[in-house]
């Protein structure tokens, strides 16, 4: 199955600064890459996703980039705010599969 590695495991940023989380995947056949945010004690929720036919996708302060050649994708959060503090999970799915393989998660702390 797919193997997804996520870095860093923890990230502390000053409010207003940017945060970047990077994930790598092993199977070049993967073509769907979602990102989930999980606030403390809550359920994971999708914040953005990208498919392999595009290289970048933006939604307000959040963007995801995909490099298929290098088999990595990244989450970018600009102008971070305290409510961005959470655990972020990347995931990948093969084109012929229904399952998601998740990274281990990144705990983001935004310092006021």
Exactly one of 73, 103, 108, 110 binds other proteins (CB under 8 A); which one?
Answer: 103
> Shortest distance, CB of residue 89 to other proteins, whole angstroms?
6
At 87, list the tokens: 């655990």
Span 4-63, contacts to other proteins by CB under 8 A: 6, 9, 31-32, 34, 42-46, 49
Whole-angstrom Cα distance, residue 106 to residue 110?
Answer: 13
Residue choice 66, 105, 108, 110 for contact with other proteins (CB under 8 A): 105
Nearest of 28, 35, 73 to residue 54 by alpha carbon: 73
Footprint of other proteins (CB under 8 A): 1, 6, 9, 31-32, 34, 42-46, 49, 89, 93, 95, 97-105
């Amino acid at each position: 199955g797919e193997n997804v590695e996520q870095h860093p495991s923890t990230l502390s940023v000053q409010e207003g600064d940017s945060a970047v989380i990077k994930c790598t995947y092993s199977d070049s056949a993967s073509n769907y890459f979602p990102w989930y945010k999980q606030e403390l004690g809550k359920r994971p929720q999708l914040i953005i996703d990208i498919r392999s036919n595009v290289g970048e996708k933006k939604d307000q302060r959040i963007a995801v980039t995909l490099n298929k050649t290098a088999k990595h994708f990244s989450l970018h959060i600009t102008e971070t705010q305290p409510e961005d503090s959470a655990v972020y999970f990347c995931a990948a799915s093969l084109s012929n599969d229904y399952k998601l393989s998740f990274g281990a998660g990144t705990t983001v702390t935004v310092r006021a």
